[in-house]
Each structure stands twice: as C-alpha cells, then as structure tokens.
Amino acid sequence: MSGASLATSQRWTRVRVGVLTALMSLGAGLVARRAVQLGLDASPLLREMAEEQALREVRLSPRRGSIVDRHGAPLAVSVDVESVWADPRTLREAGVEPAAAAARLASVLDGVDAAALARRLASDRSFVWVARRVTPREADAVRALRIPGVAMQREARRYYPHRELAAHVLGYADVDGIGLDGLELTYDARLRGSTRTVRVLRDRTGRVVFGEPWLDERSLRGDDLELTLDRTIQHAAERELGLAVQTLEARAGSVVVLDPHTGELLAMASRPTFNPNEPGAAPLSARRNRAVGERFEPGSTIKPFTVAGALAAGVIEADTPIDCGGGRLQVADHVLHDARRFDVLRPAQILQYSSNVGTARIGAALGRERLYETLRAFGFGARTGIALPGEAAGTLRHPRTWYDVDAATIAFGQGMSATTLQLALAMAVIANGGELLEPVLVRRIRAPDGTVVETAERRVRRRVLPRSVARQVADMLVAVTGPEGTGSQAAVEGHLVAGKTGTAQKADEVAGGYREGAWVVSFVGFVPADRPRVVIAVVLDEPVVLASGGGAAGPVFRRIAEVALRQLGVPVGRLDDRPTDAGRAMPRGAAQQAADGSTPPLEAVRHASRDPEGRSTVPDVVGRGARTAMRMLLAAGLEASLRGVGRVVAQQPAAGADVPRGTRVVLTLREPVEASPVTIHGPLPSGESRSSQAAVSPPHEVGARARGEPSGPAGRSLPRERERP
C-alpha cells in the first residue's frame, strides 16, 4: 500500500472513531439527562407508582356500638365472625377449575349457589366474596378443603342475643352493618362511628405483610346506646301480649309501658314479631312496629279525656248529674246506644259503666271547638316525636269538618284515630298531674371510652290540666276497675288501679262505614292509682274469642302490671306517706279531703290495728269515698268488695270486728240524692246541647287550637261501641 493510501485510511479511521466517540458522548449525555430527569424531576411520580404496586390503603370500618337496656343488659352487640373470600387469579395459577372450586365450597356453605359462585371465580379479579359471616362450623369446613386462593377474613356481625325481645324497637342492620329499621336506623351514624384509613404493604398475592400501627380498638367503635327499656318488663309485655293474641285469635296487638313522670318507655311490644338476627325470614307486616305505626279508633278509652276537658273548662262538676236517656240518644238522623239502660249518671259513673250517651252529652256541653282543643292538647292528631321511624300522627279532623254525629261520637273515641303510644302518653297526663311529656327511649349515649356524651332530659310539651282536675279524673277511673266497672279484670291485688276500657268497631277503609264483627279492644291505665309508677296501654286488633276491652285487654294489663311493680320495687299494700321523688306523689289538698270525708293515709293506718298473730280490727269506713275506704282496708291487711258507687253507707263485717287478715269486707256504696237530678239533657240536633252554648271558655291549660284534617266523605254508617262489665 502506498503512503498516500495509508494516510487516507488512517484519516478515515480517526473520523470514524471521532464520530463514534461523539455518538457515544451524545448517548451518554442523553442517558445522564434522563437519569437526572428520573432522579429529580420524576422522582415523586415514580415513588407513587412504586407504592401503588405494593402499598394499599385499607378502610377500617369501626365495630358497631352496642345497645343495652336501662340496667346494662345487652340487647344488640357486634361480634367477630369469619367471612370467606377468594382470589380468582391465584386459583388459575394453581390450576384449579372455577367450577370445581365452586362445587366444593357450595357443599360446605349453606345458601351458596355453585353456578353463581363459579361465574365469579372465573372473573379476572383479585378478590371476590364467597360467603359473608359464616358459622364456626362452616369456617372449619372451608379450611379443611385447602383450596389455593381461598382464605378467611374476620368481620363484625350484628347479633341480638335475646332474639325477638324488643325487635321492633331495636330494628336490625344489614350484612354491611348499616341500620335499616328501628333504633338501628335512627341512630345509625352514632352506632357506626367514623371509618378510618390505614396503609399496608401487600405481597404479590395481596396478603398483608406489614402495616402501620393499628389504631386503638376503642377508637374503632361506634357510640353505645343505653335505653330506657327494662328487659324484665319488656319480656313480660311481649309474653303476655303474645299469649293474648294467640289465645284470643287476634290479628295483631301492641303494648306500651311507660313512667308517667319522666316519659321513659319501660317496654314497647308488638305482635306479630320477628327475629332481627334473620329479618328476611319474616314478612314485612311482622316487622312493623304497631305501637307507633298503626292507627286505630280508640273508642271508650277517650272518655276520660273528654270528661277531664269538661271539668277543666268548668262546664261540669264531679257531682253533676247527666241525663243518659235510658241508654239512647238521638243525634240528627242517628241514634246512639249504651250497652245498658241508664237514666241519670254522674261523671264517675259514666266512666265506670262506659256510657256513650253520657259522654256525648258531656262533649256537647264542652262544645265542638273546646272538645277538639282538649283532644289536641292531650296529644291526639300529632306525632309524639319518639326516636323511631314510621310513627303515625293519628287523625283528628278540625271541627269545621265535623258532621252533627261526629260531635257526639268523637267525644267517646269514634271518628278519630290514635296510636298505642299516644294513648299511653295521654293517660300519663292524668297520672302525673296534668303534664304532657315527650317520650324518652334513649336514656344515654356513651362514647367508646365509656364517657357519657348525651343524656336525655325530662321534657314537658305542655300543661294540659290543673293538678286538681287530673286528681279528680284519676279518682273516677279507680271505679272502672271495681267489681261493677267495665275493667274489673284489670284490677291488681294489693293496689288501686285507675284505667279505662275500650271496645270500638273497626272502620272499613275500602268500602266505607264500619266492618261487622271487627273490633279493636283496649285498656289503658296506671298503677298504683294514688302514687302512679307505670302507665300501661294494651291494644288487641280483631280478637275472635273475646271482643271486649275489659275481658280481653284487662287481664293483659294486670299481668304486665304485676311484673312491672315487682321489678320497680313497689310494695303491695304499702300506704304510708313516705317522701317520694319530685313529681311522683300527688297528695290531695286539705279542702278536697274535707269535702269527701277522707282522712290522710297515716291517719287511716292509725285507725287500723293489727296483731302479730295475723288478725286485724275492721276500721270504720262508713261515709267515706270508695278510694279512701279501700286504702284504709288495705292498711289493715283486709280486702275490699265494692257494691254500687258513691260513698260507703254500710259495711260487712262491721267496724271494730276482729277478723283474720285477708278477710274480704263488703262495702255498699250509694250516691247522695239531690232534688234536681238532671242538669245536662235534651236532644242534640247539632251535636251540642243548650248548656254547652253558655259554658265558659276553658282555661289556658286545656290547649291551643290546632289545624285539623279535611273531612272524609259523608254517608258512613254509625259505629258501635260496646263495653261488657
């Protein structure tokens, strides 16, 4: 090779080396530039991408708070159970056929559809539920299968340890712990608490290998509810209601038990019922809380409130004689009837014998507007505000829409509707001295650490009656449970009972008018009558065997009252005047005691002597009222049997007789004879008597005017309301 050729070759070699070096330098620069971009500019994004591949945010749902009764007995709790889940990707990698895995799992899990599960396992997902909240037996069976990609996860399940007890009050929660009815729905946000989020490191199969420190267990719980319910009283109410519905072949029933001085609900029961652990197994009708959600025409249980309004307005006095027209009253084109023929009755006798005619005349004397205002003041036609979903307001139309006959029938509870809770709260007005209270169901709310964050207070909605009028009506209602009263079967041994029966024909909401042979029977009252501790309302819908308020609902009241009084520690026949909690004792004034000839309870005890051998001296009760006479006999360890109404005119055994304790003393009572026996009389062509037009306006306590509802179509048949002594 010549020198020129060699020089040219070397020159091109240097050029190629230079170009290659430049290209390599350029590539290195680009790589360095990219490295700088990745290391500095894109570092946050890359870090986030890496974390997304390995780290996950897990939402921790707190354990649902507990619900307990007033004594701390658990009614609804959350317990840890296991749920079965699967990773379809892991199944495929392990060579397991989805259909085969589904068949094996369905064979040990109740309620799992193998075909549906096979479709889910064939998906391209990394997580599917197989079965939620399985039993320990099922969990062990799944583990024994050893299927790759199938694992367990602990979850909290809502559990009601007493099954049907207070089911309608508690409600229930779904599989995800969300409240769907009852208190579980009303207080869902408080019971669930707030969801927390933590970050965990997972491996390629999705299992957690490292996580942030878990939060304190108490912070992963909702608030706890302490109810006013008493488990023992609730159990008695449900047991007795269930037996009555079954024995009397009734369609349904409800019971409310409450403290008349605080408004606290001690029990609330409905039949038919359901198991909140398995709510789907019961029909919707069985899950309905009839005590607050079902309206009915209350019938004669409204009569005490009509009488109370008339007494408060000064339209009548406690001894005003009422012309009952032989148990028949013409109102426009309709005729009202009583179950028995009565000529002249006084208000106490009208309640004792449940006279429709007498009550209609009192309502007419009170007047349409004031009758409406009275019933509204007692809470009818408006929701009580209880913390339960689905409460009905009842129906009480404005008097402008009333027909002539409505003015008479509404006075004794037909042509309007109410709920069992409304009826109990209205009777509590008479029991507590004249105040309408708001119902209380949740007594306290506690945070997860046990501190009380909310406490219910006694709330008075309005004063309805003067205390003296409430006491008068309470005394009248004692005669209802006497031997000749319509509620004699509601009498509780050793205690005075004040109450009222109701037997009302049911309205036909489809065809109009009233259904033949369909009745709603009820009893509402309080005990002890002199120092009320509980108000109990019992309602039975369409009993077949016995359709009377006294005969059907009265015994249910008695048996529930016996349990409630024992549970509350109320002694039998204890008649001393020991100090009581504020608002519980309702002593009668000295003027009233002088008027009816009664003596203070301590004096009654002094007149009744006992000896340690079980014998007693019969006290002298001639000339005294029925209530005072019964108190004196009870103080002496004796029983009383009443004959008639009014004051005691004779007794057997005689005063001073030495008899064994427990002896029954027969008392003959008679009303004093007056020269002018009839003051409220005459036909009621417009639903009011002439005396009602001249009556004075009621005091402010009777209640303010409220808007009613428009009247329904005219032409319905007149309801019948009956009472059987």
Quick one: which of 200, 152, 192, 153 has its CA closest to 176? 192
Helix axes 420-432, 303-313, angle to 10 degrees: 40
| Contact in structure between 377 and 464 (CB atoms under 8 Å) | yes
| Contact in structure between 3 and 11 (CB atoms under 8 Å) | no
* Distance from C-alpha of 651 to C-alpha of 641, rounded to nearest angstrom: 10
- The residues near 384 (Cβ < 8 Å, ≥ 6 apart) are 292, 391, 419, 421, 422, 425, 438, 439
> What b-and-e string marks burial along 590-608, b requiring 16 or more CB atoms within 10 Å of the CB?
eeebeebebbebeebbeeb
* Distance from C-alpha of 353 to C-alpha of 338, rounded to nearest angstrom: 9
Measured CA angle at 175 (ends 445, 215), to 5 deg: 55
Helix axes 368-377, 356-366, angle to 10 degrees: 100
- Please, what sign has the CA dihedral across residues 625, 627, 633, 639? positive
Strands 435-437, 196-202: parallel, antiparallel or unpaired by DSSP? unpaired
Residue 514 token pair: 């009233």
Residue 197 token pair: 């989020």
Strands 196-202, 55-60: parallel, antiparallel or unpaired by DSSP? antiparallel
Beta bridge partners of 55: 201
Which residues are marked as active site? Answer: 300
* Distance from C-alpha of 78 to C-alpha of 160, rounded to nearest angstrom: 9
* Distance from C-alpha of 227 to C-alpha of 182, rounded to nearest angstrom: 13
* Distance from C-alpha of 286 to C-alpha of 385, rounded to nearest angstrom: 23
| Contact in structure between 392 and 294 (CB atoms under 8 Å) | yes
* Distance from C-alpha of 724 to C-alpha of 721, rounded to nearest angstrom: 10
- The residues near 509 (Cβ < 8 Å, ≥ 6 apart) are none
* Distance from C-alpha of 177 to C-alpha of 61, rounded to nearest angstrom: 9
| Contact in structure between 185 and 49 (CB atoms under 8 Å) | no
Beta bridge partners of 156: 80
DSSP string, 256-273: EEE-TTT-BEEEEEEES-
- Please, what sign has the CA dihedral across residues 620, 624, 630, 634? negative
* Distance from C-alpha of 573 to C-alpha of 635, rounded to nearest angstrom: 7
Q: Is the peptide bond before 528 cis (omega within 30 degrees of 0)?
A: yes
In the chain, the amino acid numbered 81 is V
Measured CA angle at 64 (ends 60, 68), to 5 deg: 160
Which segments of 87-137 are extended strands (E)? 128-134
* Distance from C-alpha of 487 to C-alpha of 276, rounded to nearest angstrom: 35
Torsion angle defined by CA atoms of residues 434, 438, 440 and 441, in that order, rounded to the nearest 10 degrees: 120
Quick one: which of 137, 146, 128, 148 has its CA closest to 84? 128
Residue 41 token pair: 């500019």
| Contact in structure between 655 and 678 (CB atoms under 8 Å) | no
